[in-house]
Amino acid sequence: MKGNYLGEFEELVMLTCAYLKDEAYGINIVEEIKSKLDRSVRLSAVHMTLYRLEDKKLVESHMGGSTTQRGGRRKRIFRITSAGMEMLKTTQRGRISLWNQVPELKLN
């Protein structure tokens, strides 16, 4: 995020966190973006984005419980903060405003 707006990938990661709720951790976010948007995403890019968003107080994280599937390792779960949700809403309003300015497209 530069200034007071979200980059496109930051927005995707935050939106995915918002609807995954308690299942919002690295690999789940990657898989959701891949499946919903048919977009190739690297786990490292998602992690870097999440940590940057956390530094900016737009998301927060906590350690989940360990699982046998992960060899006893714990997952870092991310959630949107109030400031993050407000940033998403502001971004949405801006995009809608721009879309509303686009004239109806007529295809021949």
The answer to whether 59 and 14 are in contact (CB under 8 A) is: yes
Distance CA 58, CA 51 (A): 10
Give the three-class secondary structure for 37. Answer: helix
CB 55 within 8 A of CB 83: no
Q: What is the share, in percent, of the chain residues with pLDDT greater than 70? A: 87
Q: Assign 5 a pLDDT band (cuts: 50, 70, 90).
A: confident
With contact defined as beta carbons under 8 Å apart, do 53 and 13 qualify?
yes
Q: How confident is the model at residue 12 (pLDDT cuts 50, 70, 90)?
A: very high
Q: Which residue has the tokens 């786990």?
A: 43
Residue ranges and CATH numbers for the domains of the chain are 8-95 (1.10.10.10)
CA nearest neighbour of 89 among 17, 8, 11: 11
| pLDDT one-digit tens code per residue, 57-97 | 999 999 987 666 666 678 899 999 999 999 999 999 998 88
